[in-house]
Chain A
């Protein structure tokens, strides 16, 4: 059975994938459908959805087009989700690999270091980091990456510990391969599937974190993101429900889609487990 066929066996994953593709399409098409800046004040403020042609989702407190904000926001949210996850992987994978492969003192030292980050509540740490570094896309990506790499390191370490004494690793060692080669060429490829699954879920968490930061007013004030839209709409929620509803739905759908896709990937990459589950 092909990889995609196994993935498609999970209905939910397929739906998630479709939603995700739609959101990615939104992000890519945003500059073409709404070439003007989403910050531009284009109509009367507080237009309800469908009240005026061309403003299907209404306008916000300052007459900015909610639909434009939503589509441009998709770009920001996905970008921050993907980049911060990549950064977290860049930190977490090598740390976990080295700790798991060498064991002993190296492992102890690296794991204590990891625990140091794990013991501080994620969100609190992210707030502090963004507040210190001044809110900007870069500082937000960094903050999210810094709070989300420890689980990656943990996972990779566990995988490495279980794989490092396998026969094929012993064989590689016997033919004289160095540690670096063994880590990169022999073990790492075999740990990829759980990492991919975890990463897909991390993208979802990162999007949620970014939204929460923006909601609190710690977003980059120069980019339109979903969290910002909800945060700005909070004070007028009694007059204008649509201002928080649409971006809220966008976040919900994206995070849900990423979770479904993650589950589908898990099934597709671990066919044995998936079959047992069924």
Chain B
């Protein structure tokens, strides 16, 4: 009679390990999207809400884990030539589009060479280094580069390098194609219905190529324009998942204290939103390096993180965030040190000239943040006047360089050549856009280093160049580095496996399941 007893103990042991629970199929998840996306054809439209919804309909060749290592998606394996010029992707052979047509290498060539070259600026930035794209057979694609491009392997995420169906789009006017109202991808969910202003419904793709996936029967994206109402929708159980940016930060502690509520910051590693303070390098006190350094010492960035962002996020060391590759960790941090700030201001002979500060008009958190920074600066003797604007006014004044200090935040896209260098390269100084080198920083050596590093090979060489550029930027402080933002996703704890990749906020429902 020994055996049954042993079994019973083993069974008990298993029962006590809930983490080992088997995924269960079934169930529909209700979530929200804010604001309502302008459209759902990824690759044609790159707004954040489009990425978040359509990331479940469309796929790229690769996914990325939270350390930004490539994971197989539509490509199962890939090879890189020793000279860094040829990349070969082997595709899955059992993939079909939502309309039943098979997915082949021709679709990849069409998407990259035709569709994205015409429509997608972020893919174009990568494609300019690509000389040719060829389908050598039905399931093999070869990319040949004109010069080595370090971040090439980071460019295949669904939102940046979306695979679109050739048989639907070839030879048509892409933007006015009928099919745009009913997007067709290869992803785990199919588009079902979009009731404008109310809800976007996605249903399970029964023919999805990964065995058993997805577990969910569907995902409904509710559209609720008011922030407080979105919080209430979670509290009263209408929705189970609140993606990033859908509730005010001040509501986060209250919601996260609710029963059966979990919160995660993961799934943003690829984007790594980085809050910065533009400082006008052209004129006024901000043109002096010592003034900009003083600003860095004067700001209490830990306070902003702890109080305004509920402790989420990281205080950056310098121009490269902690998620960025090639971060130089040997730099001396700009700690909160008002005394040092005052010394620097004395040294430069700052005469109390007034500087203007433009807050980011994206809601209460940003307004409060500007107030805190203004207070920090006035405590070291900097005379700041805040000028509030609406989004249009903010875009315009930054585009016209009509400011001294201004808040913003930018995505880093996993590699310095994709997301960081654009802020500091002098050939990126151009009026009219609030997203380029708005501060007007010009440094020949920095230009040289960034340009060389983008195409340097191998990685060690890039690292060396990027470390040097960080030292210069750290000393010059072209912009203020405020905070690597932590955007929380709030969800019911019985929704499992919600975020499984470095772009998890956009492709998360593939692996998610609901525990009964």
On A, residues with C-beta under 8 Å from B are 37, 39-41, 45, 61-63, 131, 134-135, 217-218, 221-222, 232, 235-236, 238-239
Contacts and interface: CB of A to CB of B under 8 A. Distances in A.
Contacts of A238: 254
A144 B228 CA distance: 31
B371 A221 contact: yes
18 contacts: A40-B379, A41-B307, A41-B375, A61-B307, A62-B307, A62-B368, A62-B371, A134-B389, A221-B359, A221-B371, A221-B386, A221-B387, A222-B374, A235-B364, A236-B250, A238-B254, A239-B250, A239-B253
Contact of A62 (B227, B253, B372, B385): B372
A236 B228 CA distance: 10
Contact of B368 (A37, A222, A232): A232
B433 interface: no
Contact of B364 (A131, A221, A222, A232): A232
Contacts of B327: none
A235 B250 contact: yes
B388 A217 contact: yes
A217 B367 contact: yes
Contacts of B388: 134-135, 217-218, 221
A218 B227 CA distance: 20
Nearest to A238: B254
3 closest cross-chain pairs (CB), A and B: A221-B386, A39-B375, A221-B388
A221 B370 contact: yes
Contacts of A217: 367, 388
Contacts of A41: 303, 307, 372, 375
Given A222-B385, A232-B364, A235-B248, A39 B307 contact: no
A221 to B, nearest CB: 4
Contacts of A61: 250, 307, 368
A122 B213 CA distance: 60
B364 A40 contact: no
Contacts of B368: 61-62, 232
Contacts of B76: none
A37 B250 contact: no
B28 interface: no
B307 A45 contact: yes
Given A41-B307, A222-B386, 6 more contacts: A45-B307, A61-B250, A62-B368, A217-B367, A221-B388, A238-B254
A37 B376 CA distance: 11
A18 B33 CA distance: 53
Interface string B249-264: 0110110000000000
Nearest to A44: B307
Contact of B375 (A37, A131, A232, A235): A37
A40 B387 contact: no
Dominant SS among interface residues on chain A: loop
Nearest to B384: A222
Interface in B297-311: 303, 307-308
Contacts of B443: none
Interface in B90-108: none
Given A222-B385, A222-B386, A232-B368, A62 B308 contact: yes
A269 to B, nearest CB: 42
Nearest to B385: A222
Contacts of A45: 307
Contacts of B250: 61, 235-236, 239
Interface of B: 227-228, 248, 250-251, 253-254, 303, 307-308, 359, 364, 367-368, 370-372, 374-375, 378-379, 385-390
Contacts of B359: 221
Nearest to A221: B386
Contacts of A218: 388
Contacts of B379: 40
A134 B370 CA distance: 17
A178 to B, nearest CB: 48
Which of B253, B370, B386 counts the most A-chain CB atoms under 10 A from its CB? B386
A39 B254 contact: no
Contacts of A135: 388
A254 B248 CA distance: 32
Nearest to B254: A239
A65 to B, nearest CB: 13
Contact of B387 (A39, A62, A63, A134): A134
Which of A40, A61, A238, A239 counts the most B-chain CB atoms under 10 A from its CB? A61
A45 B388 CA distance: 24
Contacts of A131: 390
Contacts of B375: 37, 39-41
Nearest to B308: A62
A134 B394 CA distance: 12
A119 B370 CA distance: 38
A236 B371 CA distance: 17
A233 to B, nearest CB: 10
A135 B385 CA distance: 11
A221 B378 CA distance: 14
B452 to A, nearest CB: 43
Nearest to B249: A235
Contacts of A40: 375, 379
A61 B310 CA distance: 11
Contacts of B370: 221
B374 A39 contact: yes
A61 B248 CA distance: 13
A202 to B, nearest CB: 27
A278 to B, nearest CB: 50
Nearest to B390: A131
A55 B327 CA distance: 44
Contacts of A221: 359, 367, 370-371, 386-388
Contacts of B248: 235
Contacts of A235: 227-228, 248, 250-251, 364
Contacts of B390: 131
A238 B251 CA distance: 9
A48 to B, nearest CB: 15
Contacts of A62: 307-308, 368, 371-372
A131 B308 CA distance: 27
Contacts of A236: 250
B357 to A, nearest CB: 9
A81 to B, nearest CB: 22
A263 to B, nearest CB: 38
